[in-house]
Chain A
């Protein structure tokens, strides 16, 4: 029997993030090839830094949600197989990755409605800082881990005419 009301108080005590995470994307056009990597989260954060009450703060939460979802999908794919091609095959059909595919397709379609992209690819970058030693931001050494996801089709079916 499941409780009707449940309360997870651990939600009130999140541990500090021990790394910085970015979800970046690039798009493919048959004429121009791949674009450079774009960091949509950074743009949203810059707006939030200037005004914490801006809707961009919520848009960034959605961006982080997409990141955690595809990270979860990646973990499941790793458990299913150690072979890259099989992992990619799983990711191409996973609901979380398909959601990310729509998310990034919609994002570009909103910015440039007449864009002629046919493919997209996204990746997560984790940056782990060294332990605290009183260094300035620019002097802090960090290690980086990248997770590249398979190329997917550009399908802006979820475009929702906002803005």
Chain B
């Protein structure tokens, strides 16, 4: 037992088992943020500008004020700077060295835009900004440091950042499944009926096709609940990791196209890269670095 723990600590402090995960995850996050900001460009002035409809939070937290400068109308007049800076930081982070520095800039400008639009964000973006902070500490080239002490420190910090990010995903599923166990509609298997009834979280095609199907409604409701209960356990075993991740991909694709929670679905799919890198993506990751 002690030997196993000792071996594990050695592995985490001296080896880089997550290099490919970090490389691919960083690229996926950057692509997502870049496309998301570009997609919102036509509506950006309404979202981030001084005449935005979002009412101020009025918090007294200095750090949050620092990360939410766009709440100040005089700063918000320069919203184009923040949008452009985020896009440029992403490009720099992709093409230039100093990944940590540019990831910090991406984090800062993303947080500025995120905080301004907080009232319309969902759990996906909430998770993304937490993990984006952890991404600052992840380093796919942590073992390139020459100083042995710094090298060990760098590898350890990078590996623990990956574990912390994974832990966030696990917390998400544990919390989601735990609170669902107190909701009657999830327990009696009709939660998806109410989701489909809501215009906001459904799609007419699915609504008219499946809303009267007792089997479908119960299967999706209990299937989603079972998945969220099982994911935190099954994702750690080799035999069950791939099946549970495939189930997760199906669930989140369903969330994208049926519930219309596009950003949430995509972010969750990106998070899975922290657990597994598909083989078909490996050559691309290696060749691009």
Which of A's residues lie within 8 Å of B, judged by CB? 2, 4, 7, 9-22, 41-42, 45, 48-49, 52-53, 55, 57-62, 64-66, 69, 95-96, 99, 102-103, 129, 131-132, 134-137, 140, 158, 160, 162-163
Contacts and interface: CB of A to CB of B under 8 A. Distances in A.
A136 B212 contact: yes
B167 to A, nearest CB: 12
A17 B176 contact: no
Nearest to A161: B45
Given A16-B185, A16-B195, A20-B198, A162 B43 contact: yes
Contacts of A65: 53-54, 119-120
Given A16-B191, A16-B195, A49 B204 contact: yes
Interface stretch (B99-107, B153-161, B255-263): B255-263
Given A102-B53, A140-B197, A163-B42, A12 B217 contact: no
Contact of A62 (B53, B127, B180): B53
Given A55-B39, A69-B55, A12 B123 contact: yes
B185 A15 contact: yes
B45 A52 contact: no
Contacts of B204: 49
Contacts of B183: 15-16
A55 B40 contact: yes
A21 B198 CA distance: 8
Contacts of B141: none
A13 B180 contact: yes
Given A49-B204, A65-B119, A57 B212 contact: no
A130 to B, nearest CB: 10
Contacts of A59: 43
A160 B49 contact: yes
B25 interface: no
B116 to A, nearest CB: 12
22 contacts: A10-B179, A11-B122, A11-B123, A12-B127, A16-B186, A16-B191, A16-B194, A17-B200, A17-B201, A18-B194, A42-B199, A45-B199, A52-B256, A61-B120, A62-B46, A102-B51, A134-B212, A134-B213, A135-B212, A136-B211, A137-B211, A158-B53
A6 B74 CA distance: 27
Given A20-B197, A163-B42, 10 more contacts: A13-B180, A20-B200, A48-B260, A53-B39, A59-B43, A65-B54, A96-B55, A99-B55, A137-B211, A160-B49
A41 B122 CA distance: 18
Given A53-B262, A55-B43, A9 B175 contact: yes
A13 B122 CA distance: 11
Contact of B195 (A17, A61, A102, A158): A17
A64 B195 contact: no
A163 B204 CA distance: 27
Interface string B234-263: 000000000000000000000011001010
Contacts of A17: 194-195, 198, 200-201
Interface string B89-119: 0000000000000000000000000000001
A65 B192 CA distance: 23
B53 A162 contact: no
B274 to A, nearest CB: 16
B214 interface: yes
Interface string B173-194: 0011111100101100011111
Contact of A66 (B53, B126, B217): B53
B208 interface: yes
